Structure 1
Amino acid sequence: MRRPWMLIPLILFLGLAGLFLKTLYDKKNLQDLAIDPSALPSALIGKPVPAFALPSLDEPGRTLTEQDFRGEVALVNVWATWCPTCRAEHAMFNKLASQGVTIHGVNYKDNSEAARRWLEELGNPYQLNVEDPQGSLGINLGVYGAPETFLIDADGVIHYKYIGAVDERVWADQLGPRYQALLEQASGGQP
């Protein structure tokens, strides 16, 4: 006769595996476990763009600061030429800029000559473009990697952070309505 006590580890393993699978496939738990990487929280929501003094990509010799990001509701897009997702979203930023959306760029950990060639080739949607070769501004913004886009008000306060490519859907569902609401707020409620 076999020794039944030798089956105890197998029975325990199968019982735990069954419990794990039941929990994993329970619809309620699946919704609780769903993670949207574009919705990672930012400690800077409600706070001003961090202080910085970095060169302008578009105007060599000019230094840009956080003060340059004030005066208009704007998107601040963290981008780089080494980022394939940035290339994918670039046409959308050109389209938004042509529609009057104010966009500032932060060229993140990139080569400035390559960045200038990129903008000559693909178009430049940015009203201001900060060179951040060491990534210091990106670190202070809490950037995980490019692309990331921040929505700021006319006082330079960050209201929203989006991680990933901005496309028509993201603009229509997330950034566009928030941008419009900030514009209306800045104009005293006038659309």
Structure 2
Amino acid sequence: MAKISPLMIAPPVIFGLFAVAALVQLQDGSDDTLPSARQGQAAPPVVLTEFPGKTLFDDATLRDGEVKLVNYWASWCAPCRAEHPNLETLSEEGIPVYGINYKDKLDNAEAFLTDLGDPYKAIGRDEQGRMALDWGLYGVPETYVIDGEGTIILRFAGPITQRVIESTIRPALEKAAGN
């Protein structure tokens, strides 16, 4: 009969422990959204460069009394491409969507909008990502719901899907409208 070495048992045992730990993490019931230090605070200053041929927005726009979305995006971002039709739908419903093109080449960004459409009421470029740092951006896409006073009601990291619109974005828009 072959003798079983402890070295043969160790890898499956270690793997099993990791699997159990992963299951516990997945089932802990905690909120899986990324935290936002900016939520409930005034939106940081808008410092953007012009997107040629498009209307630029500024701080006053965020505080114009109108509830709005601010969406960080880039042409090189596959999830941005996936969420784009949903942003167009929200825009067509009359929800103002403001775009911030993040660390992108202008030619690529223009081609993105030409190919997929332009849902943005106004747009600017954050070429170096400096404004994104002030906003606490984790990556693109990210979308912020801003109330009429310029307060961040919600920060959503990731692509906006139909489910996210119904479960997260619309309730935040309603909350923003009530502020």
Task: Name the TM-score, length of structure 2 as normaliser.
Answer: 0.82
**1:31 matched to which residue of 2?**
27
The offset of 1:31, in angstroms, is 2.2
Query: What CA deviation, in whole Å up to 9, does each residue of 1:16-57 have, x standing for no partner?
Result: 85994696377x664228673xx1101111111111332232
* Equivalent residues of 1:58, 1:129 under 8 A apart: no
Structure 2 residue runs of 5 or longer lacking an equivalent are none
Query: What CA deviation, in whole Å up to 9, does each residue of 1:84-125 have, x standing for no partner?
Result: 110011011111111111111110001123212221221111
Partners of 1:117 and 1:42 lie apart in 2 by: 31
Partners of 2:105 and 2:127 lie apart in 1 by: 7
Partners of 2:16 and 2:121 lie apart in 1 by: 55
The offset of 1:68, in angstroms, is 2.1
Task: Name the TM-score, length of structure 1 as normaliser.
Answer: 0.77
**1:180 matched to which residue of 2?**
174
Note closer, same or farther for the CA distance 1:182–1:124 as it changes in structure 2 (3 Å cut).
same
Note closer, same or farther for the CA distance 1:21–1:47 as it changes in structure 2 (3 Å cut).
closer
Structure 1 residue runs of 5 or longer lacking an equivalent are 1-6, 187-191
* Amino acid paired to 2:21: L
> What is the aligned counterpart of 1:166 among 160, 165, 175?
160
> Whose Rg is larger?
1
Answer with 174-183 or 76-85: which moved more. Answer: 174-183
* Amino acid paired to 1:24: A
Note closer, same or farther for the CA distance 1:151–1:58 as it changes in structure 2 (3 Å cut).
farther
Partners of 1:18 and 1:115 lie apart in 2 by: 44
* Equivalent residues of 1:146, 1:164 under 8 A apart: yes
Partners of 1:18 and 1:113 lie apart in 2 by: 48
The offset of 1:159, in angstroms, is 1.0
Percent sequence identity over matched residues? 34
Partners of 2:36 and 2:141 lie apart in 1 by: 15
* Amino acid paired to 1:107: N
Backbone CA RMSD of aligned residues: 3.1
3-state SS of paired residue (1:124)? coil
* Equivalent residues of 1:58, 1:116 under 8 A apart: no
The 5 Å alignment of 1:1-191 reads 17=14, 20=17, 24=21, 30-32=26-28, 36=32, 39-57=33-51, 59=53, 64-71=57-64, 72-183=66-177, 185=178
* Equivalent residues of 1:104, 1:128 under 8 A apart: yes
The offset of 1:138, in angstroms, is 1.0
3-state SS of paired residue (1:165)? coil
Give the structure with the higher percent helix: 1
Partners of 2:25 and 2:114 lie apart in 1 by: 49
